[in-house]
Structure 1
């Protein structure tokens, strides 16, 4: 098997990491140029040709080329519904597109702090894309629930800016920046918050948080609704609304049984979508 091309799409990159390389006569094309230039030659030489697509904007000419060339591919893999929808709007054959979510670690034990409500947020979220909103919400929450903690983990986009706002809001005692490559960095949290402003696929850490049975608070966007159902496995709030975000945190902190139930529902959802077994079954159906 050969995987040709690169992508900046986090979900697609995570998916590629888990694809076994032991299949012969299969070519997986990742980048736009690889898909356009190599799909037809690969078919001529009788390679099974599979695309992994990304959630990137395409101009009219690029969309037309994708539509024409996709007819010669054997299968197209999307890592989430948002990406699938973008390609369906290009009038790609829906029968060719298969959604395969990247798998999550399922054996890691969730270890939330029992004596303190702990919030987690992915550090990839920039200050002006929701992180600043969360920090201001935490300043309000602290006045009602002093015994609370915020962990900002993973890859940190704006560490200096985040640290500055933490200092300005006097959150030093409750906010922790924890840069790490470990995918289960939110294991000690009770709640995972996704305060993103744009309607685009969320960080992959959302899937891991769901597998770790975390309650979710997220901005109400179409991309987030792919994973979160209101009051079933999380709380969806309006964009750029500090009051709604702080109130959602307070409500969950005051209702631990509800918070636990949301987390359990997320675990059930994640086992159906993000488990290694489901990933391997769907992938083998395409590769074999």
Structure 2
């Protein structure tokens, strides 16, 4: 079978869906990656994927552009001769589903998170909900990554319950992301936040929490790893980031295709996001045996058992985040080691990508 995987970024396909693609190829399927070219086309081809480029903006709602995207996806699906379409992220989920419907190609969709569309109750949010309600009449299956997102779609009558199912996020390769030899806590306890530098990831709250902790003269180190976003009004500017680093508030680590060494060198991974699907960075950190701190919101709370492998903090509350970070930094070596083991245990039992792969295999089998 020719399986199309459609996402708003070739980087996303390569970094987050490779375990799924590898399983499909081993099963004898041909995999067609359909996405904008943002630098990972050759890597995908080298792994055995065909690649078709499409123009797709990640953000924004422009009716004329979006109608054009439906047509472009329609032509691409037809040219690529895909037999089933696996959609991820909002625009493929909506417009890709419509294009597939026009060609009578079955769709399996994955709501990887609701993002700013549902965090901000504005006109864009209302339009998105109308579009979801219309497009989600057609998929054979729609996977959600947490119970909160699924419940919200059902409550707003955006989808029929009979076509829904839950996944443990995108799954994690527990052999690739695993603890290395224990090296104990750093001489200076180190926190790491990995995320695109968007306001909705809680970047400002992280900085404000750091300022609170620095006033207490605690021996702590704070790191930030992630891409600077250029979307107007949504991301931290280069000027603001430079100001924070020059003031010695946070160490900016840039971006990385492989985050394992950064996670391994941290004592605790933090994500004060406003809402997630199931955050990949927390899954990677848990699988590598790191204690976690995250907001008590949809998606994040799935990765933490309070007091067992980490702490949950209040959303948009820098003071509470600072308190949880201080509490983590003051834990003893045995307490941290126990949390580390519990994070790894949770990742292995709940978030292994093998669970995701099996769910997709079953969904594809049912479309035949």
TM over 0.5: yes
Shift of 1:160: 4.0
- Are the aligned partners of 1:103 and 1:279 in contact in 2 as well (CA < 8 Å)? yes
State the match for 1:274 in structure 2: 351
Query: Aligned to 2:131, which of 57, 62, 75?
Result: 62
Say if 2:328 is the partner of 1:252. Answer: yes
Shift of 1:151: 2.0
Distance of 1:113 and 1:176 partners within structure 2: 21
Shift of 1:27: 0.5
Residue correspondences, number: 276
Distance of 2:99 and 2:184 partners within structure 1: 49
Distance of 1:147 and 1:153 partners within structure 2: 20
State the match for 1:242 in structure 2: 318
Shift of 1:273: 2.8
Shift of 1:262: 2.7
Distance of 1:153 and 1:99 partners within structure 2: 29
Query: Aligned to 1:36, which of 74, 77, 98?
Result: 98
Is the alpha carbon distance of 1:17 and 1:58 closer, same or farther for their aligned partners in structure 2, counting shifts above 3 Å?
farther
State the match for 1:223 in structure 2: 299
Q: TM-score, normalised by structure 1?
A: 0.79
The 5 A counterparts of 1:6-155 are: 6-7=7-8, 16-20=17-21, 21-22=24-25, 23=29, 26-30=83-87, 31=92, 32-39=94-101, 41-42=103-104, 49-54=107-112, 55=114, 57=125, 59=127, 61-69=130-138, 73-88=139-154, 89-100=156-167, 101-107=169-175, 108-110=178-180, 113-126=185-198, 130-144=202-216, 146-155=218-227
Task: Tell me the secondary structure at the aligned position of residue 28 of structure 1.
Answer: strand
- Are the aligned partners of 2:196 and 2:227 in contact in 1 as well (CA < 8 Å)? yes
Q: TM-score, normalised by structure 2?
A: 0.64
State the match for 2:60 in structure 1: none
Is the alpha carbon distance of 1:64 and 1:179 closer, same or farther for their aligned partners in structure 2, counting shifts above 3 Å?
closer
Is the alpha carbon distance of 1:149 and 1:64 closer, same or farther for their aligned partners in structure 2, counting shifts above 3 Å?
closer
| 1:211-253 superposed Cα distances (whole Å, 9 cap, x missing partner) | 1122111222233223223223321222333332222222111
* Structure 2: unaligned runs, 5 residues or longer: 31-81, 118-124, 230-235
Distance of 1:234 and 1:253 partners within structure 2: 12
